[in-house]
Amino acid sequence: MVLKWGKDYCCDTKGIKMELKVEKHETLIIRPRIKMWMARAITIVLLWTSLVQLIALGELLGPSLLRGMPYCFSSPSVDKFLAPAKAVLPPKRIYRNNGYLLVSCNGGLNQMRSAICDMVAIARHLNVTLIVPELDKASFWADSSDFKDIFDVDHFITSLRDEVRIIKILPPKIKKRVELGLLYSMPPISWSNISYYENQVLPLLLKHKVIHLNRTDARLANNGLPAEIQKLRCRVNFNALRFTTQIEELGRRIVKVLREKGPFLALHLRYEMDMLAFSGCTHDCDSKEEEELTRMRYAYPGWKEKVINSELKRKEGLCPLTPEETALVLSALGIDHNVQIYIASGEIYGGEKRMASLLGEFPNLVRKETLLEPSELMYFQNHSSQMAAVDYLVSLESDIFIPTYDGNMAKVVEGHRRFLGFKKTILLDRRLLVNLIDQYYNGLLSWDEFFTAVKEAHAYRMGSPKRRIIIPDKPKEEDYFYANPQECLQLLDEPLEST
């Protein structure tokens, strides 16, 4: 090819006519450029077609084909499948609001826990709005923790919204009425049937619009209630009352440390100073300790029983076992002396001196204070209810749970372990045990006789399925609902033990 600048395309410089001739073969310039462009275009088309087919194949065969590929190569359906499912909230219950219920719980953590369950059931039955319960700050424990410091308050509200409306604070207009004293405050009658709340409490709510129940422990009967109320009590206890993230994480950390070393037993050794003072149980205490415990009992007006015969009460099985008695019983039950024993309780009265016999028999005694660094417990110090919540969680997870006294924690943990599949819980017959212990110490029983008697007495006291004992007109003496919420459990075929 020849390119020429003719006359019209000449440059005349200094009278010299310039003519440019460029000679190149067509195949060396034009055709290679066409081939390169076409190759790139075809490559892009092929890649895009392959990608589309791959995505289509993934839609057909399922998300596992594309698992692990970068986000930009994943189809929307795959992303949706791999994303964590959002929590589905129950629908809100719509009903005519009959008023507002204020609740002040009293006692320790588990006494308040069961009271909260009762108050939710009552609020639901009466069609009233429940204000998040206020926790006890004036009792012996003097714990300043609010509800939100112990329980996940948002989960509590939302998880029950199909049953009852729960709010954190009163609406402004109602709050102003309360501040002016326009509310009715009362302690409900203990162990009341639901008809009491229908006939006595509801009319007051309709009249005053807001009512304050100022003592709420054991205010609802164990038995004779509609099945939906019993099941709601369970739902609150086992689902809605979730501890805060901080408490749950600490509990899991302790369980992990224990599990790394093997199985463990949780011993609720109820031998704290307040328990002994309240119960008047001074067996194995010296005269100085007896005086100290008596002074404490008289110092608290709420502890109404003042003059107590300690030995008589012990023989009736109404006192917690001492650490020394506990060591003897654990040995007789055949508990491995090398097993880890987690002490789920507060400070033991008498300290190391009192614990010496138990530690001598079972050297692997541990507490949360010995398993964790002080910095890990710093936030929970001086908050007895939060510390009790940690013990509660560890007790639920233990291979065996043994309470030495049937207080509120022992009963509620027992019921929760039943709900979790009848986990092994050894329920000590203290009335029988103290009699056997005294005979053994007095030389009236040999070790083999003592061992056999203890084992036989507790063969069917391991937390297995059984029916609650119902004693008409004596609700305090019958089995506690929260220790055995049989309406919420998968029970074995009849007949069941009734003891």
pLDDT at 143 (0 to 100)? 82
Tell me how far apart the alpha carbons of residues 402 and 114 are, in angstroms, rounded to a whole number.
Answer: 20
List alpha helices for 239-301, DSSP H: 245-259, 273-279, 287-299
Question: Which has more pLDDT, 162 or 494?
Answer: 162
pLDDT at 140: 67
d(CA 184, CA 319): 38
pLDDT, tens digit (0-9, with 9 covering 90-100), for 432-445? 999 999 999 999 99
Check pLDDT > 60 for residue 83.
Answer: no
Average pLDDT over residues 186-215: 95
| Amino acid symbol at 368 | K
Max CA pair span of the chain: 145
Q: What is the pLDDT of residue 491?
A: 65
Contact 436, 451 (CB under 8 A): no
pLDDT higher than threshold 50 for residue 62: no
pLDDT for the residue 53: 60
Select from 156, 111, 103, 151 the least CA-distant residue to 131.
Answer: 103
Residue 189 confidence (pLDDT): 96
* pLDDT the model gives residue 304: 76
Judged by average pLDDT, the poorest of 117-121, 383-387, 487-491 is 487-491
Q: Give the three-class secondary structure for 284.
A: coil
Q: How confident is the model at residue 139 (pLDDT cuts 50, 70, 90)?
A: confident
Domain edges within the chain: 97-237, 244-486
Q: What is the arithmetic mean of pLDDT over 278-287?
A: 93
pLDDT reading at 89 higher than 90: no
Predicted local distance difference test score (pLDDT) of residue 382: 84
pLDDT at 424: 97
Record the tokens describing residue 174, joined without a space.
Answer: 């109602």
CATH class of 97-237: alpha beta
Q: Which helix (H) or strand (E) holds 55?
A: helix 26-61
Q: At what angle do helices 384-397 and 109-126 cross, to 10 degrees?
A: 90
Q: b/e string for 161-187 if b means 16 or more Cβ within 10 A?
A: eebbbbeeebeeebeebbeeeebeeee
Q: Which is nearest to 338 in space by CA: 314, 318, 365, 312?
A: 365
Give CA–CA dist 165/126, Å, rounded: 11
Higher pLDDT, 455 or 64: 455
Instruction: Supply the angle between the helices 323-332 and 447-457 in degrees, to the nearest 10.
Output: 80
Q: Write the pLDDT tens digit of every residue in 300-312.
A: 877 878 889 999 9
Question: What is the pLDDT, as a whole number, of residue 4?
Answer: 41
Q: Quickly state the pLDDT bin for 182 (edges 50, 70, 90).
A: confident
For 18-44, what is each residue's pLDDT tens digit? 443 444 444 444 455 556 656 666 777
Provide the pLDDT for residue 136: 87
pTM of structure: 0.81
**What pLDDT shows up at residue 6?**
41
pLDDT above 80 for 3:
no
Q: What is the pLDDT of residues 312-365, one digit of tens each?
A: 999 999 999 999 999 999 999 999 999 999 999 989 999 999 999 999 999 999
Query: Mean pLDDT of all residues in the chain?
Result: 85
pLDDT tens, residue by residue, 393-445:
999 999 999 999 999 999 999 999 999 999 999 999 999 999 999 999 999 99
Report the alpha-carbon distance of residue 418 to residue 153 in Å, rounded: 25
Confidence of residue 55 (pLDDT cuts 50, 70, 90): low
Q: Average pLDDT for residues 50-63, to the nearest whole number?
A: 50
Instruction: State percent of the chain over pLDDT 90.
Output: 71
* Predicted pLDDT at 41: 65
Question: Is the pLDDT reported for residue 135 higher than 80?
Answer: yes
Q: What is the pLDDT of residues 97-127, one digit of tens each?
A: 999 999 999 989 999 999 999 999 999 999 9
340 CA to centre of own chain: 23
pLDDT at 47: 67
In the predicted structure, residue 215 carries a pLDDT above the cut 60: yes
Question: Which of 2-11, 201-210, 473-482 bottoms out in mean pLDDT, i.e. has the lowest?
Answer: 2-11
- According to the model, what pLDDT value does residue 494 have? 43
Amino acid 50: pLDDT: 65
- Closest of 345, 354, 343, 361 to residue 284, by C-alpha: 354
Of the two residues 57 and 327, the one the predictor is more confident about is 327
- For 465, the 3-state DSSP assignment is coil
pLDDT at 138: 73
